[in-house]
Each structure stands twice: as structure tokens, then as C-alpha cells.
């Protein structure tokens, strides 16, 4: 039967009283509930109001389970979290795309001869790989330093570092540049001369022969773009002793003069590159090539620390654009991205430098020590 009530009239309600409270019963039993004049006892028991019929629905009050109360705030907070997560995923995805585009546009692959000297391996993020990192001592084209090799001319390798990364492995092993070895087709000479004689291909063959290992990938640090990569990270923090060095002849010769106080120093791109290349420290003239190799590993560790820092998250697109430009490699975008991921997610390996300084002032290492260090390195 249809409801014939006027829709504008107030709705009817049925009233149901709740069950008597225990306290009310007690009061009644003790005669405390009646009035002094014989009036019936006041009944303050709560009751529930139920809607009768199909009248209009009353609006919900804020804070009492309605849409505008605390429940709404909880839903809004959940949405904020969801949107923040989606935004973070989108930010990372954008950074990955930027990395791949930069790697494609800026790809500076090594020569085919160098690529053919390398051994095959699995994906850099999931499989253990041995990577050779080289940096040449070529000076900037604007350098006025007498006798300096300019970029584009044959030069010796300034940095020789082996990295073990991927598949949960993490190890580093620096080879001092003045270590005397047999260079294929050239005889005995300092190991950094292999790069000058035959470029990265001969450097790969020389190191493989010297250590008895296979090198899977090659990374050459591009000293022209390396400072931009460090600046994209927001700089790096490195703890050092007092350092005063003049790179490429110092400021007077178009180079860079570095001055660092003892303790932790925040370095921009140019300062980080200068520290990595510092060989003669005016604060400590007795420092040697092993000290320099340890400093280079400190810088690498500082870069890794910045990569995994939450503060770098907001700079991720900048880092993704600058990273591929800082290196030349046999690896294309996906493999290079896997390498950066493996380095960032790997452990913090101990600084290892092969050899010691001999009586003649040059690094030297026995076959037994060399074998032990190589085995430790391969285990990661």
C-alpha cells in the first residue's frame, strides 16, 4: 500500500526504550528513584529512535560516522598515501626513461677492437660481472701545462680499477698505475702504458694476462662530463687528510688547484675530479700511488652513498640524464642501467689496492699475494 502522507510533513518515528540499566534497577529497589511528592520516578534511561515509513533521510552529523566526519578524513589520508606512491613510481619510471634516452643519444661506445677483447657475461644486475674502469691522464684542450697530452691524443691510464658487481657480489681492486708488467707485444713496462700503446683493447688484454682473469665489461670515465654527473648528485662528501694539489698545472696553467682541510669535505664536480686525479699532495709529499688509488675508491664509495640517499630521489631525473654522459662503455642502455643498479644495491666493499711500494719507489706484488687478492676479488 502506497504511503499517502504529505512529503513535506515531518516524519514519524517509533520510540523503543532500551533495557533497564543495572544502576536504575538498584536505585528503584532502594527507593531512590521516586520524587519527594509521590511523583513517579524520573526515567532518564536512554532510548533509540527508529525511522517509521519512507520519509526523507536526515543528514549525517560530522564526526558521527557520516561522510563529513572522521571517517572521511581517514579515506582522504589513504588517498594521499596512494597518490604519493603512484607519484613516486611515476617519478622513478620517468627517470628510467630519461636514463635510456640519454644513453641512446649520448652513447660513446668503445672501439670495436676493445669490445672484442671482452668476455661475455650475464645481465649486469643479476649476474656477477667483472668491470674494468679506466680513466686517462689526458688534459683538457684548454690546458697550458707543458708537454701535457690533450684529450683525443694517446695518453696513459690515470685510473685502473676492477669492480665486481651484480648477482649480490660487491668488490673493488685498484691496480697502481706504475706497476711494472708484461704488455703483449711491448715487453716490460708500467701497466698504464698499455693504454697509450694500444688503447682500451690492449689495456684489457694486459690486465687479463697479468691477473689471470676474464674482464666482462669496460667503462672509461669521461673526465669532461664527470663533474656534471657529480653536480647532478648534489656533490659528494669525502673524508680526507689535508690535500693541496695542482691538477693540469693549477689555475695558472688553465688547470685546477685543489685545497682541502682535514676531515669531511663536500665536493662539487670539479673538486671531486681533482681529488681523484691528485698524485702530488703538497700537504703530504710522501704520499704514493697506493694512497691515490685509495682516494679514488673513497670517491666511488661517496658516489654510491649519494645514489642511495633519499635526498637524491628528487634529483633522480637530473642524475639519470648525466650518468650515461660521464662514461664510455661497451654496454648499451639496459646493461649500463643494470650496472648502476648493481653498484647502488651492492654492499660496501673494503678498499683494496694490489701491491705495495718497493725499494725502488714503484709498486710491487708477489705472485702469492696477487693470487690471494684475485681470489678474494672474484668471490665478491
Residue 278 falls inside a structural domain: yes
| Dihedral angle, C-alpha 299, 303, 309, 313, nearest 10 ° | 150
Q: What is the pLDDT of residue 346?
A: 84
The mean per-residue pLDDT over the stretch 178-197 comes to: 92
What does the pLDDT read at residue 39? 53
Apex 148 CA angle, 146 and 149, nearest 5: 150
What is the percentage of the chain residues whose pLDDT exceeds 90?
45
Residue 87 inside a domain? The answer is no
Q: Is residue 16 part of a domain?
A: no
Q: Which of 116-120, 133-137, 147-151, 205-209 has the lowest mean pLDDT?
A: 147-151
Q: What is the pLDDT of residue 116?
A: 83
Residue 161 — very low, low, confident or very high, per pLDDT cuts 50/70/90? Answer: very high
Higher pLDDT, 81 or 271: 271
What pLDDT is attached to residue 363?
81
Give me the percent of the chain exceeding a pLDDT of 70.
73
Q: Is residue 32 part of a domain?
A: no
Answer whether residue 19 is part of any domain: no
Q: Give per-residue pLDDT as tens, 289-344.
A: 889 899 999 999 999 999 999 999 999 999 999 999 998 888 888 999 999 999 88
Domain count for the chain = 1
**pTM of this prediction exceeds 0.85:** no
CATH number at residue 334: 3.40.630.190
**Residue 163's pLDDT is what?**
95
Q: Does residue 81 sit within a domain? A: no
Write out the residue range of the structural domain in which residue 307 sits: 94-379
Amino acid at each position: 500500500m502506497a504511503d499517502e502522507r504529505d512529503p513535506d510533513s515531518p516524519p514519524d518515528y517509533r520510540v523503543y526504550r532500551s533495557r533497564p540499566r543495572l544502576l536504575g534497577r538498584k536505585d528503584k529497589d532502594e527507593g531512590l528513584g521516586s520524587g519527594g511528592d509521590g511523583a513517579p520516578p524520573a526515567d532518564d534511561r536512554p532510548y533509540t529512535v527508529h525511522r517509521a515509513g519512507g520519509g526523507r533521510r536526515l543528514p549525517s552529523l560530522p564526526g558521527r560516522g557520516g561522510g563529513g566526519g572522521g571517517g572521511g578524513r581517514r579515506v582522504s589520508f589513504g588517498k594521499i598515501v596512494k597518490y604519493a606512491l603512484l607519484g613516486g613510481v611515476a617519478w622513478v619510471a620517468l627517470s628510467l626513461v630519461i636514463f635510456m634516452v640519454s644513453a641512446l643519444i649520448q652513447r660513446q661506445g668503445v672501439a670495436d677492437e676493445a669490445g672484442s677483447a671482452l668476455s661475455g657475461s650475464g645481465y649486469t644486475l643479476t649476474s656477477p660481472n667483472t668491470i674494468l674502469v679506466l680513466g686517462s691522464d689526458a688534459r683538457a684542450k684548454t690546458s697550458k701545462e707543458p708537454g701535457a697530452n690533450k684529450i683525443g691524443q694517446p695518453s696513459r691510464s690515470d685510473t685502473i680499477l676492477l669492480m665486481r658487481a651484480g648477482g649480490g657480489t660487491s668488490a673493488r681492486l685498484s691496480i697502481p698505475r706504475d706497476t711494472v708488467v708484461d704488455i703483449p707485444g711491448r715487453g716490460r713496462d708500467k701497466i698504464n702504458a698499455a693504454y697509450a700503446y694500444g688503447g682500451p683493447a690492449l689495456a684489457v688484454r694486459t690486465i687479463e694476462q697479468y691477473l689471470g682473469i676474464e674482464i666482462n665489461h669496460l667503462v672509461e670515465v669521461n673526465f669532461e662530463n664527470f663533474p656534471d654527473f657529480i653536480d647532478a648528485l648534489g656533490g659528494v662528501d669525502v673524508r680526507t687528510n689535508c690535500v693541496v694539489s695542482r691538477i693540469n698545472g693549477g689555475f695558472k696553467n688553465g688547470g685546477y688547484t685543489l685545497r682541502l682541510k682535514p676531515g669531511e669535505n663536500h665536493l662539487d664536480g670539479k673538486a671531486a675530479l681533482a681529488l681523484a686525479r691528485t698524485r702530488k699532495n703538497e700537504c703530504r709529499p710522501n704520499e704514493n700511488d697506493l694512497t691515490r688509488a685509495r682516494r679514488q675508491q673513497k670517491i666511488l664509495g661517496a658516489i654510491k652513498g649519494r645514489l642511495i640517499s633519499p635526498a637524491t630521489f628528487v634529483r633522480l631525473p637530473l642524475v639519470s640524464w648525466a650518468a650515461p654522459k660521464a662514461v664510455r662503455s661497451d654496454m648499451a642502455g639496459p646493461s649500463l642501467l643494470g650496472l648502476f643498479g648493481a653498484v647502488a644495491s651492492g654492499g660496501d666493499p673494503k678498499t683494496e689496492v694490489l701491491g705495495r711500494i718497493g725499494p725502488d719507489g714503484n709498486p710491487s706484488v708477489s705472485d702469492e699475494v696477487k693470487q690471494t687478492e684475485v681470489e678474494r676479488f672474484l668471490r665478491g
